[in-house]
Structure 1
């Protein structure tokens, strides 16, 4: 073990000496490795950051949740818009029936939305999203309240004119978000009392509920300020613990057909949209992006491998007499082979570290410019190191083999 550590230390030292002695030559040769790692890890880090944030945003829409609507999620040239437009809208009365008839459901909530103007002392905000929700909404869609509180059970039942507003709305109407609770906002001629402010969420990629720019009121009160026929009503149903969304969806199909009195020959006049289906579609799209990043990075990496191989061929030639001397005093061929392979791997790791550093700088710059968190995960860093080690071995295997096979007498003379 001690001997192996000595070889590793010696190889690392020689790699640094090679880099320092021939700075320009080594830098240009390692540039391909740097660019290759930058392309591969840059794409992986970007996709991983996007995927993580999107998955978190999808979870915020309700984990293990089915959305009952007249519209199927999706689109494309073959989307049967005309057929879905004829379907009936989701009804508030159906929520109670769903709870009663669906054993795999734990919560069900009704949701309507509209765009309104919000006014405070002559200061008006246009196109504010107003959400009218029923009582189980926060059990399906958890919300972090930064100031004040969320709507109470009594406010839902009585249909009080209480409202919870997004952070951005609070700042624009009251200057500071913490000042909003207790204030009054005018919405379409109705006064609403602010009881809470939702914690700031930042930019959303997949849309969903833009809570920073929205207001939430009880459904019973929302009926007086929102035209329900034009409010895109939906029913959100969350499955019971340990119940998969597929099982929930299957039972909901039967429940909805029973509620709407559809006979066996009639098609469904409702859509059951699953968050997990959207998540799977996005994962497939990310796979294609990852493949593209690997392909681009691989081309640069091949150039880098040839560059490192060139360094190693030159290094072997420069150290021929040293190799002969080592073999003459008893160094085994496998030790010589290991020394040069480790040196080649260390050179690639140095190039990879330069590439990782560039990616790290890029993630910090991008995060600050577009207010979106990009990051380098430990797993991606580990992938980069493994790639560099494998590349170093591939680049150094031929020159290292030549060094290991040298005749000590011939090597010393040369």
Structure 2
């Protein structure tokens, strides 16, 4: 063990000595390694951070949740089911919530959602084009709605359609100067007045599909219908169904297909006039897309790493030639070939690790800069750092294996006589 530690220490000192004695040559050679690690880690870190943000936004739509809508999310006009057929499908209705709950054995929560836009006013303050969400009673059982002030709707407020709203953080801040002072205030929108009873915790920007809670107000569904009525064919509205614990989403989709066909009174020969959108499929689609992006990042970084590997190999060839007499002396006093081989392999690996460390520093700097501009944090995970270290070690060994083998096979007598 002690001998191995001595070899490691000597290899590390020789690596530093090579950098010190041949700054320009070593520096130019390590640029390729540093840039390759920078490309790999920066791409992986940025893509992983963005994917995490989008997956979090998708997860916010509800875990194990099916959206019953007239539209198939992500579907286009592929000729098999053209766009105009989607348009002509009947819209989901509020009454579907009760019918689904009665007929489904796998559903835990069912809610209705409808959306509009309006300007919010409070005294001399105004927020333009705010999202107005009308929801039924179990909406907060499917969506996570954390309040920093006030409370959520009561059953009585849902049933009676009382003029009360839960407001998003940004709307509250813009209208009242502080989100903490919003509760109890009366706001006006679409010629109706309503009292703010709660403020939603700040959510941040969303890159994926989801709800813009920060710039919205939530209304009980029956109050929403008093303001806007029920016949709004161009507004987004759907039924949300959350499955019971441990119920596979596929089983829930199969059951809901039968339930909705009963509700719509479709004959066996009629095709579905509704869509069942599984959030899990959206998650898989996002993962597949970012997997492709990662492959592209690896391809770009691989070219830089190849250049860096040739540079490190060149350093090691020159180093072996410069230390020929030293190698011969070591072998003459008893150093084994495998020891010489290990020393040069470790030296090559240390050089790549130094280049990789420089690349990591560059990534950290880039992450700090981008995090101040982007609406999501760029985080370098421990797995990615470990990956970078592993790449450097492997690259160093591959780059140094031929020069190290040449050094290990040298005849000590010939090597000592060389100049």
TM-fit CA distance, 1:77:
4.3
- Contact 2:325–2:416 (CA under 8 A) maintained in structure 1: yes
The residue aligned with 2:182 is 180
SS at match of 1:229: coil
Between stretches 167-176 and 69-78, larger displacement belongs to: 69-78
Between stretches 154-163 and 114-123, larger displacement belongs to: 154-163
SS at match of 2:231: helix
Could you list the per-position Cα deviations for residues 81-108 of structure 1 after superposition, in whole angstroms to 9, with x for gaps in the alignment? Answer: 1001111111111111111111111000
The residue aligned with 1:140 is 142
The residue aligned with 1:269 is 273
2-structure distance, mates of 1:229, 1:288: 43
- Contact 1:112–1:228 (CA under 8 A) maintained in structure 2: no
Between stretches 6-15 and 330-339, larger displacement belongs to: 6-15
TM-fit CA distance, 1:75:
3.8
In the alignment, structure 1 residue 247 sits paired with structure 2 residue 251: yes
The residue aligned with 2:348 is 344
- Contact 2:50–2:376 (CA under 8 A) maintained in structure 1: no
Between stretches 143-152 and 34-43, larger displacement belongs to: 143-152
1-structure distance, mates of 2:282, 2:368: 29
Residue segments in structure 1 that go unaligned for 5+ positions in a row:
none
The residue aligned with 2:128 is 126
1-structure distance, mates of 2:365, 2:404: 35
Distance change in 2, residues 1:76/1:262 (3 Å):
closer
SS at match of 2:226: coil
SS at match of 1:109: strand
In the alignment, structure 1 residue 319 sits paired with structure 2 residue 323: yes
2-structure distance, mates of 1:294, 1:168: 39
Paired residues, number: 414
TM-fit CA distance, 1:209:
0.5
Aligned ranges for residues 3-402 of structure 1 at < 5 Å?
3-78=3-78, 80-230=82-232, 231-402=235-406
TM-score normalised per structure 2: 0.97
Q: Runs of at least 4 residues of structure 1 off by over 6 A?
A: none
What CA RMSD, in Å, does the superposition of the two structures yield over aligned residues?
1.1
1-structure distance, mates of 2:370, 2:76: 32
1-structure distance, mates of 2:168, 2:96: 29
- Contact 1:166–1:212 (CA under 8 A) maintained in structure 2: yes
TM-fit CA distance, 1:14:
1.2
1-structure distance, mates of 2:56, 2:194: 31
Could you list the per-position Cα deviations for residues 155-180 of structure 1 after superposition, in whole angstroms to 9, with x for gaps in the alignment? Answer: 22222111111111011100111111
Could you list the per-position Cα deviations for residues 115-152 of structure 1 after superposition, in whole angstroms to 9, with x for gaps in the alignment? Answer: 11111013222211000101110110011111222222
2-structure distance, mates of 1:351, 1:247: 52
2-structure distance, mates of 1:5, 1:148: 63
SS at match of 2:227: coil
TM-score normalised per structure 1: 0.98
- Contact 2:151–2:197 (CA under 8 A) maintained in structure 1: yes
- Contact 2:58–2:209 (CA under 8 A) maintained in structure 1: no
The residue aligned with 1:412 is 416
2-structure distance, mates of 1:153, 1:42: 50
Residue segments in structure 2 that go unaligned for 5+ positions in a row:
none
2-structure distance, mates of 1:152, 1:289: 46
